[in-house]
Amino acid sequence: MSTDFFEQTIRDNLVKIKSEGRYRVFADLERIPEKFPQAIYHNKYGEAKEITIWCSNDYLGLGQDPRVIAAMTDALEKYGAGAGGTRNIAGTHHLHQILEEKLAAHHGKEKSLLFTSGYVANLTALSALSALNPIIYSDALNHNSMIAGMRYGKATKKIFPHNDVGALEKFLDADTRANPDRPKIIAFESVYSMEATLGKIKDIVALAKKYSAITYLDEVHAVGLYGATGAGMAEEVGVMADIDIIQGTMGKAIGQIGGYIAGKAEVVDYIRSIGHGFIFTTSLPPHVVAGAIAALDIIRNTPSLRSELSTQAKHLKQQLTAAKIPTMESQCHIVPVVIGSANQCKAMTDRLLMRHDIYIQPINYPTVPRGAERLRLTASPRHTDAMIATLVTALAKEWQEFQLPWLA
């Protein structure tokens, strides 16, 4: 096959993506630690201005916290930049051990294991489990990283409609009768971040017990934000001990990068021993781990962060409703606003940035289905009432100009 073929096909693909309005343009930002959630935005003409970020996953602003930055600076000076290898070959730092112990304790589990991202944690853990020939029951809205993990190995994948525990039970019941000895895993999330819905953790735990399945829960958008100590939604609803494997990230409320799983010692040891995404890659740099340890300590010791987040998220939702901007019903700190067209969604966010100094990234296919393109707003404890008022006024003005439907 000629190189011309590749060049032409690649060009055609890019033209198609652009014509569908889903060509991804990254906002070029410099976050300002002492002014979270403000950042400097650089446009393509070399100009810069200060803007407010309304779509960050640094949900608590801990990636900008002076205590976290101090811990990282200190570790960088003490230990240097990189980890120096894979975990097995010279790349296990004492701080990795400390963070793994802390994360295991945070979730009430025997052991935890670090990965270089939440994505890699899901991919690796679920592919290692898939090698055991299980049936995996997967919520239809599970994240791409979980789906990617289940594709490996010998697992049979059964997808149940989002949060439909009735459909899940039908699968479990039929498979238990037909094949009682086949291992079963139910894989789901606690906070579905594009829909702002909550997984039915208690119901799923009950089904898992009834049908002898194990539970794999992605708490990426809940760790730090829910539960008395910030361990997540399973802690919040009182069933953390019943979840077999909890997966989380350091890339969101912890404000760093990296992911992890926590569970029974032998399960974690198995994934550590066979997981390719764990074995064949350089481990996290010590200063990142030091930052995660500092952030985790703050999360555990500062419940007020969670109540402030909840207050500001509620306030944001109330103000949007008062301005008659139709939001999707949100059960958490994330507020999706559906625009329904990729081009309009992009045009709306461009205007918010250009005219109002507000940055919201348009969320397009394949992250959400076509026709359901949306803005995904994330409040934080440090988004003030004045920032919320500015956002809602700007959004209402543009909503009117775009002639989008208002809340009845």
Residues in contact with ligand PLP by the rule CB under 6 A:
117-119, 122, 143, 145, 189, 193, 218, 220, 249, 251, 259
Residue pointed to by tokens 């971040």? 193
Exposure of 40 in the CB half-sphere (CA atoms within 13 A):
8
Residue showing the smallest CB distance to ligand PLP in the complex: 118
CB 312 within 8 A of CB 379: yes
- Whichever of 218 and 236 has its CB closer to ligand PLP, that residue is 218
Helix (H) or strand (E) run with residue 39 in it: strand 38-42
Phi, psi of 376 (to 5 degrees): -125, 105
User: In whole angstroms, how close is the CB of 150 to ligand PLP at the nearest point?
Assistant: 13
Q: Locate 391 and state its tokens.
A: 């956002």
Helix (H, G, I), strand (E, B) or coil at 9: helix
User: In whole angstroms, how close is the CB of 251 to ligand PLP at the nearest point?
Assistant: 3
- Whichever of 118 and 224 has its CB closer to ligand PLP, that residue is 118
- Whichever of 319 and 330 has its CB closer to ligand PLP, that residue is 330
- Whichever of 122 and 341 has its CB closer to ligand PLP, that residue is 122
**Could you say which DSSP state residue 86 is in?**
B
User: In whole angstroms, how close is the CB of 103 to ligand PLP at the nearest point?
Assistant: 14
- Whichever of 117 and 282 has its CB closer to ligand PLP, that residue is 117
Q: Treating both helix axes as pointing N-terminal to C-terminal, what angle do 265-274 and 118-130 enclose, rounded to 10 degrees?
A: 100
- Whichever of 55 and 172 has its CB closer to ligand PLP, that residue is 55
User: In whole angstroms, how close is the CB of 213 to ligand PLP at the nearest point?
Assistant: 20
User: In whole angstroms, how close is the CB of 61 to ligand PLP at the nearest point?
Assistant: 17
End-to-end CA distance of the chain: 57
- List the beta bridge partners of residue 336: 376
DSSP assignment of 140-174 equals TT--HHHHHHHTSTTPEEEEEPTT-HHHHHHHHHH
Name the nearest CA neighbour of 71 among 301, 302, 289: 289
Which residues are identified as catalytic?
252
User: In whole angstroms, how close is the CB of 145 to ligand PLP at the nearest point?
Assistant: 5
CB 37 within 8 A of CB 70: no
